[in-house]
């Protein structure tokens, strides 16, 4: 997959194939998901199917201040290589920068504070529907749901759509185009104020093992308090200079 062709609003579309209807989060605990090399964790992937997930490698980003357990040692490429405005990493597990087969994309500052309210996990069904509808419309997602990514910490999980309505010519006339690929995306808060987005790329199609591994890894994600990301957050609070 040539990821440069897939960058629409921060890695819009990246995986083509079956739209697997699976639980938003695996049932595996963070402790089991982070099992040392040679150990595996069983996680539900689709109905009665159980997939053995192994996450033996801990990747630490000192620049952006996070860790996540991985199935293998990734080839890490700055997200800015594909989109100069993107801040984060692309963790490539299979393929290369010109043809990514399997990867996770981790972006920082990926959503606004108000997009995922503090009460998202305890909101009524009606309130939750409003939250999800607004979020899906803003970030172009389908099948969104609120998920508990850590104890009492809630994020939003969804898929990029198979079809998009696009005003390609800017004349107000929309045409329907089929996305070359799909991604699974999870937007989640960090422990120290981060607004992260973690995406799954799994080519040529989203596979049950790939999705189960991604779901399990989400439960191991942690933000750390000292990093360039914290400096970025502090600088973002400074008054912006007025243009002359």
How far is the C-alpha of 52 from the C-alpha of 48, rounded, in Å?
13
Q: What is the pLDDT of residue 230?
A: 63
Contact 6, 13 (CB under 8 A): yes
Kind plus residue range of the DSSP H or E element containing 163: strand 163-166
Q: What is the pLDDT of residue 164?
A: 76
Q: What is the pLDDT of residue 49?
A: 63
Identify the sign of the CA torsion 144, 145, 150, 152: positive
Q: What is the pLDDT of residue 236?
A: 60
Considering the domain 3-234 in this protein, what is its CATH number?
A: 3.40.1000.10
Q: What is the pLDDT of residue 158?
A: 95
SS3 30: helix
How far is the C-alpha of 88 from the C-alpha of 191, rounded, in Å?
17
Q: How many residues does the chain have?
A: 244
Q: What is the pLDDT of residue 179?
A: 72
Report CA 158 to chain centroid distance, whole Å: 9
Q: What is the pLDDT of residue 171?
A: 79
Residue with tokens 């609003």: 9
How far is the C-alpha of 10 from the C-alpha of 54, rounded, in Å?
28
Q: What is the pLDDT of residue 20?
A: 27
Q: What is the pLDDT of residue 24?
A: 34
pLDDT mean values, one per 10 residues, the chain (244 residues): 36 29 32 34 53 93 93 94 89 93 94 92 94 95 92 92 77 78 90 92 89 94 76 61 51
Helices (H) and strands (E) in the chain, counts: 4, 14
Residue with tokens 């402790």: 31
Report CA 98 to chain centroid distance, whole Å: 20
Q: What torsion do the CA atoms of 150, 57, 208, 165 make, to the nearest 10 degrees?
A: 70
How far is the C-alpha of 153 from the C-alpha of 140, rounded, in Å?
23
């Amino acid at each position: 997959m040539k990821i440069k062709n897939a960058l629409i609003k921060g890695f819009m579309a990246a995986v083509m194939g079956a739209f697997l209807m699976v639980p938003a989060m695996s049932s595996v605990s963070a402790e089991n998901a982070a099992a040392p090399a040679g150990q595996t964790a069983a996680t539900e992937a689709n109905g009665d199917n159980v997939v053995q997930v192994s996450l033996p490698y801990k990747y630490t980003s000192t620049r952006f201040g996070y860790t996540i357990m991985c199935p293998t040692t990734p080839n890490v490429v700055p997200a800015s290589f594909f989109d100069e405005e993107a801040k984060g990493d692309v963790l490539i597990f299979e393929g290369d920068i010109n043809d990514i087969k399997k990867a996770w994309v981790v972006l920082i500052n990926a959503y606004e504070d108000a997009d995922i309210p503090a009460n998202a996990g305890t909101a009524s069904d009606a309130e939750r529907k409003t939250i999800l509808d607004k979020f899906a419309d803003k970030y172009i997602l389908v099948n969104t749901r609120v998920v508990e990514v850590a104890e009492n910490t809630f994020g939003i999980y969804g898929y990029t759509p198979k079809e998009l309505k696009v005003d390609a010519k800017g004349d107000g006339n929309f045409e329907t185009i089929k996305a070359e690929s799909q991604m699974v995306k999870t937007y989640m808060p960090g422990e120290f104020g981060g607004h992260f987005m973690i995406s799954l790329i799994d080519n040529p199609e989203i596979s049950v093992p790939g999705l189960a591994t991604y779901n399990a890894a989400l439960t191991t994600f942690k933000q750390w308090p000292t990093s360039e990301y914290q400096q970025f957050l502090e600088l973002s609070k400074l008054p912006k200079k007025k243009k002359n």
